[in-house]
Structure 1
Amino acid sequence: MADLVDSMLDLMRRLPPTQVEENVASLVAMCPDYADDLLGSVDQPLKIMTDRATGKEYLACDYNRDGESYRSPWSNEYDPPLEDGTVPSSRLRKLEITANEAFDTYREMYYEGGVSSVFLWDLDDGGFAGVVLLKKVLNAASSTEPSGSWDSIHVFEAAERGRQAHYKLTSTVMLQMTDRAITASEGKESRDSDKPDAKREGEVVLSGSMTRQSEQDLPLHDQASHISNTGRMVEEMEIKMRNLLQEVYFGKTRDIVYDLRSIDDLEKARRQRELQKELVGFIKR
């Protein structure tokens, strides 16, 4: 069993990130007995669902799934309805409601849109765990504008130790961007002819995921302190991961693209070479 699951996970790491949902579904269809192990180990883009009772949107993932149903953080009900679905204790449910309100404000401040959800569950050792989900989708207004999505999954465990609590946070960010552009060819041949400039259509797809972990001991004054503590850790982690994406991943991609392709047209490059030859000829005289 372990070898088969490891092989499926190894295969997923080699397949295109943009097709993770289709690939997971294919593996589950081939090995249905290992569906739970695979779904619990592979991060997939978050799905947006609507709470039937409140009309509010929430995010669905493996952490609020029970069978084929997903629990809403707003009404605490499953969709499709599930009579014996797992729900948090009454004490934890109150904390979950407050956490959803707090991170909804965080989402509006940082993302200016999107959807957020927080789910909590009890642990056997007396502590609790939870997940903070954030998703923002950019839809292209036209065929030449960029589109993409950002998915954040922050899983944490909290263990109370007197007036302090120990937190373990595992954060995963999935980013997908598609940029389409249509440009006119700028070669000498197209300019001298009577025909309009030829058009070139290109598409650049950038996608992938990043996972980071952190642990901290933070003061605990009351139950509400859990929300402020985890909120601070999530905020710091997201800032760190955004900086890594900007400086390392996007910066490296930009350098590679500029090395592979010149942004100047061929005619301009030809004129520069001719000018250099003329200058060299004048110097030699």
Structure 2
Amino acid sequence: MTTADPFDAALDLLRRLPPSSTQKNLNGIISLQPDLEEDLLSSVDVALTSKRCVTSGRDYLCCDYNRDGNSYRSPWSNEFDPPIEPDDAAEVTPQGRVRRMEEALNSAVDVYRELYYEGGTSSAYLWALDEGFAGCVLFKKSASQGTGGKGGWDSIHVLEVNEAATKRSADYKLTSTVILDLGLQSAAVDNLELAGNLTRQTQQKCPLNGMRDNEIEQSHVVNIGRMVEDMETRMRNLLQEVYFGKAKDVVGDLRSIQPLSEAERDRAAHQEVINKMGR
């Protein structure tokens, strides 16, 4: 009898537990198997958390891509909180063109967040690769009502960019995950919870306009922003048409709002019409 790999067993267990409790269950598994911490944190998507940048005073989102140990890097100041060793910071902190693109991308997604989400928090992080660069764009919006309702939307867009040798075009690979958590607690519906996540991938080859470095950098920001916007629109439509539509059908089949007496009367009238047509 073969023994299951602990990492695969942990992922299999998390898939079967409630999506709204992923963070709590993930922490429990890590406490039991500390050697799986790095692999699990880089493989399991959980709801994003935010911190306040000490230098700029602005909020930013925390994920595995801006983490070094227990410290997180702010995209606004490019500094880690809590601070890490200068030698370590120099290795994991973007510089030069990557940092310039990161600053421009953060400004762009901040405008997008305000227009589409009307609030919330956004962050973008980039880092250099041997050929090209990679990054992630994050959005988080939470809402709550005094009547017992709550809602949370977390979208994580991870991208990889490979530039052509001529720097006239680039290949973009985007993997997007949306984590949705809705809940309502009232006397009418008791305790209702709808949670889950959706992941999609896309790959495009886009042109790079201009000859100078700043023009090429701006083209990257525009291409990334357009891909993220298109992917978010597509995933919102999928959630609305498939996820919510299917949930509505299931609830409608299980629970009828119409009183049973009215339903029986309508059914009898319908059968009477059918009988008369038959005669």
Q: TM-score scaled to structure 1, two decimals? A: 0.86
Q: Which residue in the other structure is 2:197 paired with?
A: 209
Q: Which residue in the other structure is 2:77 paired with?
A: 75
What SS does structure 1 have at the residue aligned with 2:124?
strand
Query: CA-to-partner distance for each residue in 1:208-261, whole Å, 9 max, x for gaps?
Result: 001000000001121111110011111111111111111111111101111111
Contact 2:53 2:76 in 1 (8 A): yes
Cα 1:155–1:277 shift into 2, 3 Å = closer
In 2: Cα distance, 1:41 partner to 1:2 partner: 18
Residue 248 of structure 1, aligned match among 242, 250, 258: 242
1:157 Cα deviation after fit: 0.6
Q: Which residue in the other structure is 2:171 paired with?
A: 166
In 2: Cα distance, 1:181 partner to 1:44 partner: 27
Q: Are 1:232 and 2:238 matched, yes or no?
A: no
Alignment-mate amino acid for residue 102 of structure 1: A
Residue 110 of structure 1, aligned match among 111, 116, 119: 116
Q: Are 1:178 and 2:169 matched, yes or no?
A: no
Cα 1:2–1:122 shift into 2, 3 Å = farther
1:65 Cα deviation after fit: 0.6
Query: CA-to-partner distance for each residue in 1:130-182, whole Å, 9 max, x for gaps?
Result: 00000000111333xx3110000000011111200000000000001012333
In 2: Cα distance, 1:159 partner to 1:274 partner: 67
Query: CA-to-partner distance for each residue in 1:52-89, whole Å, 9 max, x for gaps?
Result: 11110100011111001110000111111112232112
What SS does structure 2 have at the residue aligned with 1:224?
helix
In 2: Cα distance, 1:274 partner to 1:167 partner: 61
> Following superposition, which runs of at least 4 residues in structure 1 exceed 6 angstroms of deviation?
273-280
Q: Which residue in the other structure is 2:95 paired with?
A: 89
What do you get for the CA RMSD once the two structures are aligned?
2.3
Residue 128 of structure 2, aligned match among 105, 122, 132: 122
What SS does structure 1 have at the residue aligned with 2:5?
helix
In 1: Cα distance, 2:82 partner to 2:180 partner: 29
In 2: Cα distance, 1:98 partner to 1:276 partner: 64
In 2: Cα distance, 1:71 partner to 1:279 partner: 71
Q: Which residue in the other structure is 2:256 paired with?
A: 262
Contact 2:147 2:186 in 1 (8 A): no
Give the aligned length. Answer: 263
In 2: Cα distance, 1:122 partner to 1:45 partner: 26
1:97 Cα deviation after fit: 0.8
1:48 Cα deviation after fit: 1.3
In 2: Cα distance, 1:179 partner to 1:108 partner: 26
Residue 99 of structure 1, aligned match among 105, 109, 112: 105
Give 5+ residue unaligned stretches, structure 2.
Answer: 210-215
1:276 Cα deviation after fit: 7.9
1:273 Cα deviation after fit: 6.8
Contact 2:97 2:217 in 1 (8 A): no
Cα 1:268–1:210 shift into 2, 3 Å = same
Give 5+ residue unaligned stretches, structure 1.
Answer: 184-200
What SS does structure 1 have at the residue aligned with 2:217?
coil
Query: CA-to-partner distance for each residue in 1:180-208, whole Å, 9 max, x for gaps?
Result: 3333xxxxxxxxxxxxxxxxx51210000
1:271 Cα deviation after fit: 5.7
